[in-house]
Amino acid sequence: MNQLGVAITVLAVLSSGTTDEAPSTPSPSSAASSTVSLLCRCNDHNHCQPLSANLSVPPAPTTVSSNQSSTNSLATDVDVRNLLVCKARGARPHCYASKHLVGSRIVVQYGCLAKDSNVLQCIGTSAGVHSTPRALQCCNSSNLCNLYFNPRLPDGLSPLPSSNPPSFTTGTNSDDNKGQLAIGSGSALTMIALVSVSVAFVIVLLTAALYFIVRRLRRKCRSGGGGGKSLTTTDMMELRPIGQHGDQHTVTTPLTNVDSQQEPMTQSLYSPPGLEFSSGSGSGVPKIVQRTIAKEVCHLQAVGRGRFGEVWRGEWRHEDVAVKVFYSTEEASWARESSIYEQCLMRHENVLAFLASDICGTGGWTQMVLITEYHPLGSLHDFLSQQPVLTLGNTIRLLFSAAKGLAFLHTEICGSPGKPALAHRDIKSRNILVKTGGVCCIADLGLAVRYSSINGMIDPSPPLVQGTKRYFAPEILDSSLDTRCFESLTQADMYAFALVVWETLLRCRLPDSDPVPYRLPFSEHAPNDPSVELMQSLVCEQALRPTVCQHWLTSSYSSAVVEMMTECWQHRASARLTSLRVKKCLRDLDESFRRSDVQGAEADGNC
């Protein structure tokens, strides 16, 4: 700090040139010696020493000598009893006296200039305006030559107005070892304080502006204004598939509202056209580098409600997405479904595409969300209820795509990484979504269980009664299902899939016949929410199955589908077709129908 003070003083003197006395010519004896000592008046109590008693003090002058400048003067009222001194050593040592303004205070300093380079401070005359007005007097004629120095500030400079009178203060100036001068510390501290306050004010101002901008955008996003644009940080987020990179396709379709369910259900999911992916070759799940994506998705419209939570149509990165919000009591279901979707090799065109899962706090409670693609046509149940009629080709295409998705879930892919086999455990028309192009995808894996042939374990251990009661297989209703056998769980899925096939055939138009109004299986015998006991009586004791319409048997295509359907709802689970066999049968029917020149032409469609 002392070196910094000396540097500041040198610059100040060179710019203002305030000098009272030109440097004296050293005596011959001093010139001959390389090092000369000079005793100077000092007022720094930390670095100065009291004057020895054996040293005499020069008398006070009575007049101003001719070599004094008009801006300097001599003081005669010096208290020599408490005098402090310092010793300057060097080839040309000097004593100095300095006076400068710090606000309304006048600071007077006395000390030594020991180093030869510091002598430059004493060269020149008073000139210019400095940021800190000051006056300087130097001498080297004799010991204590600066004892009676009293520098005067240039004309026109006076302390700033203040309620208190100006105060004369001494500062920390001299060091008898280094002889450095430190001045202007008060102004430096003031400048630092002003800069700090200014920077803090700018930061607070920018923070407040950013807060109000973010708050306004979020309010607009929630209200659906401004085209429903959401608050996103797309530059901070990226879509990364696990494994290889898959192709991405964008499809734009209109929104169709979905009616509420009439019976307890596992919530159907809907997916966004703008984020539809092809299956690729083991591309895996697209994982998002998440930065609280749940807070970046705008909830635009509620489209469904079920036992696990609610489904909303939302917007993320200017694309429609489906946001499944789980109830706080269904954390286990959210965790199970999220972990299944996040597995490698879960990408398939006939399985609902997963985007992200997240947990966010809403202030009063914790919200668990699952974000998937949004399909505006809704579930197969809603599609069949609203669709006037289906052609035979459309019917086969819908069933074939659903069978492909179910077969993909039931199949284990061995390798590193691999995919475990999955049993859905809640197959129904409400959990199968209709995509654009007349194809389906399997959704809602909240009740699914995983099976790996490596350890032979089913994860998690499934309960006996689980799913939608209307679609329960006979072995579930009579409690004969072996939950430790994974094949038994997939056979129960095939029974439920047979009921979905029956629902789809109701809306199929065949030659010389009209489609049958859509209804749920066993709707003529069971209410909207049947009990397990009632379904057990209908399915197990009375061995009832949905009615097969006679006109379905008039076409070789539809009769082949009916034959496949009846084999899948057999009472004995081991007699049912597997998902791979159903997929092959429907694929052959679809290829045969596509090769036909006329949609109503008869062809051999034996399975």
Query: What are the pLDDT digits (tens) for 180-205?
Result: 334 445 567 888 989 999 999 999 99
Question: 199 and 171 in one domain?
Answer: no
Helices and strands: H and E segment counts in the chain? 11, 23
Q: Would you say residue 602 lies in a domain? A: no
Question: 589 and 485 in one domain?
Answer: yes
Q: Would you say residue 605 lies in a domain? A: no
**Tokens (6 digits) for 60:** 């006070």
Predicted local distance difference test score (pLDDT) of residue 427: 96
Last-in-domain residue among 172, 199, 223:
223
Q: Would you say residue 277 lies in a domain? A: yes
Question: 177 and 198 in one domain?
Answer: no
Question: 134 and 13 in one domain?
Answer: yes
Q: Would you say residue 430 lies in a domain? A: yes
Question: 559 and 418 in one domain?
Answer: yes
Q: What is the CATH number of the domain that holds 494?
A: 1.10.510.10
Q: List Cβ<8 Å contacts ≥24 apart for 384-387.
A: 384/429, 384/503, 384/504, 384/506, 384/507, 384/518, 385/259, 385/518, 386/256, 387/507
Which residues of the chain fall below pLDDT 70?
A: 1-34, 45, 62-73, 76, 114-133, 155-187, 220-291, 344, 362-364, 597-607
Predicted local distance difference test score (pLDDT) of residue 384: 94
Predicted local distance difference test score (pLDDT) of residue 252: 29
The catalytic position among 20, 426, 444, 493 is 426
Question: 267 and 218 in one domain?
Answer: no
Question: 570 and 441 in one domain?
Answer: yes
Question: 200 and 334 in one domain?
Answer: no
Q: What is the number of domains present in the chain?
A: 3
Q: Is 44 a catalytic residue?
A: no
Q: Would you say residue 517 lies in a domain? A: yes
Q: Would you say residue 606 lies in a domain? A: no
Question: 509 and 365 in one domain?
Answer: yes
Domain of 535?
234-595
Question: 268 and 219 in one domain?
Answer: no
For 234-249, how does the pLDDT look when each residue is reduced to its tens digit (9 = 90+)?
Answer: 333 333 333 333 333 3
**Tokens (6 digits) for 59:** 């008398």
Q: Would you say residue 42 lies in a domain? A: yes
**Tokens (6 digits) for 295:** 């807070």
Last-in-domain residue among 170, 201, 223:
223
Q: Would you say residue 228 lies in a domain? A: no
- pTM here is 0.54
Give the Cβ contact number of residue 160 at 10 Å.
10
Question: 219 and 169 in one domain?
Answer: no
Predicted local distance difference test score (pLDDT) of residue 160: 53
Predicted local distance difference test score (pLDDT) of residue 511: 82
- Asked if residue 469 belongs to a known ligand binding site, the reply is no
Question: 211 and 247 in one domain?
Answer: no
